[in-house]
Amino acid sequence: MGNKLSQILCQLYNSSKLPWLIIGIGIILRLIRYLYNPSLWFDESDTAIDIISRPFSDLINPSPDWSSKYPYGFLIVEKIATQVFGNSEYALRFFPLIFGMVSLFLFYKVAKHYLRPKAGLIAVGLFAVLDPMIYYSSELKPYSGDLAFALLIFIASIYIESKKLNISRIAFYGILGAVSIWFSYPSIFVLLGVGLCLAIYSLAKREWPRLGGLSIVYFMWALSFMACYFIYIRNLQSNFDMSVEELLMLERSFVPFPPKSLNDLKWIIDSFFEVFNNPVGLTFTGLAAFTFLTGCLFLFRNNKEKFYLLITPILFTMLASVLHQYPFKGRLIVFLVPFILFFIAEGVEYVKEQINMKSAIPGMMLVGILFVYPLSWAAYHAKTPSSTEEIKPVINYIKNHWQKDDVIYVHYYAQYAFEYYTKFHPDKYEFDGGEHIVGIAPRGWYRTWRKQHVSKYYKSDVPVVQTSADIFKEYIKDLNQLKGRKRVWVLFTSVIVKDGINEEKFFIYHLEKTGKRLDSFGRSGIAVVYLYDLSDTSS
């Protein structure tokens, strides 16, 4: 029985159908997460409202209400989705899902060209089941599109590299790169990487006609980038009161190079390992780092052309980060995950080959260790899909327990999700005879979110900077306007902490002193509502 099972597994491992089976599993995992249909969370809901509330003609302009920062092409396809399918979560997440599923096929195509067969299988397997790759395929964000365009550029480069450049191929390659820039900001780093490598290879081989054709392609890319920058990106940057650079420096998102202190050196080392956890999604970051470096060394020794093509997008992104032009952190470098996985897969396969000279078991254990957590998370989330915030059940609970003259106090961080589900969702929640109050936010909040609303909450001459003590005084003042109300629903989503103080707990502490809790529903940090009787004004 054992030998028969071993033979079946061996046949499956060597079957040409296995990659397609893996891709099928990847598609199913992405569909499960999409069909689970979690509530739009903060980032998604503000994007949704901005897209739904503005016409096509206005999307090229900075939003009057939001600090919109997504690529113009992404906003356009999202607007198309709402026009065709409506304003539901399914419609808004439709294109991220399509990009995510298409990326599986594109990834396999690129891996098949650049990696050895068994290394390619490892890479495809990881890409199919890694949790961030699944998650970003069902979120209203452009990151799955970044993945798709990065891989599409590489596939086009493979095609161009193997063919004689004629007018139609020059036009195809030029237009693809030009369009990519409008749909995916980081595609510029991929274009720079492959463009530089192809130019150097042509120069080294003295292929002057090819170099001339590539020059036309690069000119088209440059024109597109300049148009995108001057027509769209520059206006977005002016829409930020706090500069993007200032904001990202606060988050330590730029590579400090050359390092000027031990903290800078520590940041570089920590960030190197952190990349394998976020955005790649591997738990054993030390092992991932080792196999990545091993894969880099293997490819450099055995095929320098492939090595440089795969490494240059990473290097150009790091260079942009050193120059404070692009953050090298988290979800913003999701588009680099395929290239990182290619090196990891080659590293794993090389180590396996060295180990297998003595025994096959350690090599199998190495692969098993690398896959154990991704597979576990994939299985867990297939059974119990996760959500960042889950406001729908909470609003539904309020609706089912609603009484005349009730009022809802919406914590400022929950206001956009609440607004989407009560004004823009196809099955919007309506509360007869009641009202809702959006809670005051810190003064700095209005530098980024709903800037023209600042006068509703603060005088224009109030300084932007507030101490935490001043902010919490404003919260108390805002809550005190609710005194005398018989039934007040107080709604929270994500936990916000300022100077070690959990805002939700602070609000509840004050409400417990001034009123009586009647009910509560939900989960703190996901979405929760508390019902208070504040009719006793003597407290």
Each residue's pLDDT tens digit, 33-52: 999 999 999 999 999 999 99
Return phi, psi of residue 534, to 5°.
-115, 25
H or E element in which residue 71 lies:
none
Residue 129 corresponds to which amino acid? Answer: V
3-state secondary structure of 55: coil
3-state secondary structure of 130: coil
pLDDT in tens, 116-164: 999 999 999 999 999 999 999 999 999 999 999 999 999 999 988 878 8
CA 516 to chain centre: 41
pLDDT given for residue 538 in this prediction: 67
pLDDT given for residue 250 in this prediction: 44
Q: Answer with the residue of higher pLDDT: 246 or 105.
A: 105
User: What are the E-state strand segments in 378-472?
Assistant: 407-410, 435-438
What is the percentage of the chain residues whose pLDDT exceeds 90? 70
Q: How long a stretch of residues is the chain?
A: 539
Q: What is the CA radius of gyration of the chain?
A: 26
> 413 is written with which tokens?
């961080």
Residue 455 corresponds to which amino acid? Answer: S
Helix axis angle, 94-114 to 304-322, nearest 10°: 140
What is the percentage of the chain residues whose pLDDT exceeds 70? 89
Residue 280: count of CB within 10 angstroms of its CB = 25
Instruction: Please count the CA atoms within 13 angstroms of the CA of 56 that sit on its side-chain side.
Output: 9
Residue 479 corresponds to which amino acid? Answer: L
Mean pLDDT (whole number) for 202-226: 94
Strand-pairing partners, residue 516, are 533
Q: How far is Cα 393 from Cα 37, in angstroms, rounded to an integer?
A: 12
Q: What's 254-295 look like in SS3?
A: CCCCCCCCHHHHHHHHHHHHHHHHCCCCCCCHHHHHHHHHHH
Q: How far is Cα 46 from Cα 177, in angstroms, rounded to an integer?
A: 29
Q: How confident is the model at residue 179 (pLDDT cuts 50, 70, 90)?
A: very high
Pairing type for strands 407-410 and 488-492 reads parallel
Q: How confident is the model at residue 9 (pLDDT cuts 50, 70, 90)?
A: low
* DSSP string covering 465-492: ---HHHHHHHHHHHHHTTTT-S-EEEEE
| Residue position matching structure tokens 């729908």 | 392
Mean pLDDT (whole number) for 353-370: 79
Pairing type for strands 497-498 and 488-492 reads unpaired
Above 50 in pLDDT, residue 427? yes
3-state secondary structure of 52: helix
Longest dimension (CA), the chain: 88
Helix axis angle, 94-114 to 337-355, nearest 10°: 40
Return phi, psi of residue 531, to 5°.
-105, 125
Q: How confident is the model at residue 460 (pLDDT cuts 50, 70, 90)?
A: low
Question: In b/e form, how buried is each residue of 154-181, taking b as 16+ CB within 10 angstroms?
Answer: bbbbbebbeeebeeebbeebbebbbebb
Above 50 in pLDDT, residue 243? no
**∠ CA 120-124-125 to the nearest 5 degrees?**
115
| Residue position matching structure tokens 């990326």 | 103
H or E element in which residue 521 lies:
strand 516-523
Mean pLDDT (whole number) for 57-64: 87
pLDDT in tens, 168-177: 999 999 999 9
Q: How far is Cα 165 from Cα 146, in angstroms, rounded to an integer?
A: 27
**∠ CA 366-372-376 to the nearest 5 degrees?**
170
DSSP state of 231: I
pLDDT in tens, 510-530: 999 999 999 999 999 999 999
pLDDT given for residue 400 in this prediction: 93
Residue 159 corresponds to which amino acid? Answer: Y
3-state secondary structure of 179: helix
Q: Answer with the residue of higher pLDDT: 358 or 429.
A: 429
Q: How far is Cα 453 from Cα 447, in angstroms, rounded to an integer?
A: 10
**For residue 258, is the peptide bond before it cis, meaning its omega torsion is within 30 degrees of 0?**
yes
pLDDT averaged over every residue in the chain? 89
> 126 is written with which tokens?
């990881």
Q: How confident is the model at residue 287 (pLDDT cuts 50, 70, 90)?
A: very high
